[in-house]
Homo-oligomer: A and B are copies of this chain.
């Protein structure tokens, strides 16, 4: 059996982990396909000119019945690269810093088992990892969109994913699965294309953002827009970047992804060195951590994309769109099995919001499972606390598959 060496860099230096063919999908490739040659009609009524680039990765093999497809939807800052490694240093040596965002969950023998299932993950519309977004060139004008990019919705993202499936010759998925904003897409899928979904797995998500969620998002957007280097969205043309604003938005985001308890355990009140008694210096480790997260983010993400994506999240309103305000009414359109997973310490999309959806489904006799995982890692749990999550996913997906094909 092949073994891979994976070189990871941390603040402490470079370390190596080893994985076998049985533990990772290994080296992956992001493909880009051009869809919607005539343009894409958006929920806003606007038309996004075609063709539209869609970046995606696949893992595992499509079986002859095409019944083993799992569509994975990513969260705010994710990409199509959900599993494996994106670059090779040498034969069988991978750069660990290009690890897929859900490597712990997707792969051979993992929660989403690539030995059994054909996994697709695409970068969603409006993002900046290969799929058309505000940094793309408008094919009609030959210029970068920037703020002329239309406001998009979760529904628009799902419409693009549906077109990708059509392109790949897939009529129906075994499961659509996602955490956080990925969970919103899974929810949208189940009601927008109910005949195409056998099951929806909704992790650490909500049917619509709370006022507090919107509040955090709007402060983040304000930080970006207030940065003079944002230049009304035209920073690319001016050769600048609103690093400070985007970094502040990311820092705020990070606070909401962690729990107070996990921050206390990880950083507590530890000083970097000691009190600086200097008003514009970082004193505490948690400050330096957030600053580092902000800096790292501005090197890999686009500021306008951040605006469009958080707006899509704020606009998302399942009960409003499908049930005239009622979650129960909305879910009446569903034809799939559901699995909801929440995490006890998630205060961004707390368990109560999963329970609300589960209750609505139960009340109309829909097939729904629910697991609340005990975890201290807050909203980030779905990315880091993957052991129980993986077991839960595996059991559910296998059961959906058995019900259909065995």
Contacts and interface: CB of A to CB of B under 8 A. Distances in A.
A290 to B, nearest CB: 6
Interface in A245-299: 245, 247-248, 251-252, 254-255, 258, 260, 263-264, 266-269, 275, 277-280, 282-284, 286-287, 290-291
Q: Is the interface of A mostly helix, strand, loop or mixed?
A: helix
A215 B44 contact: no
A212 B255 contact: yes
A216 interface: yes
B278 A151 contact: yes
A248 B275 contact: no
A212 B263 contact: yes
Contact of A280 (B147, B215, B251): B147
A interface bracket (residues with beta carbon within 8 Å of B) = 35 or more
Contact of A269 (B209, B251, B252, B284): B209
A234 interface: no
Nearest to A211: B263
Contact of A233 (B150, B218, B221, B280): B280
A227 interface: yes
A367 interface: no
A277 B211 CA distance: 18
B150 A266 contact: no
A214 interface: yes
A307 B279 contact: yes
B252 A214 contact: no
Interface of A: 44, 46, 147, 149-151, 208-212, 214-216, 218-219, 221-223, 225-228, 233, 244-245, 247-248, 251-252, 254-255, 258, 260, 263-264, 266-269, 275, 277-280, 282-284, 286-287, 290-291, 304, 307-308, 311, 314-315, 317, 320, 347
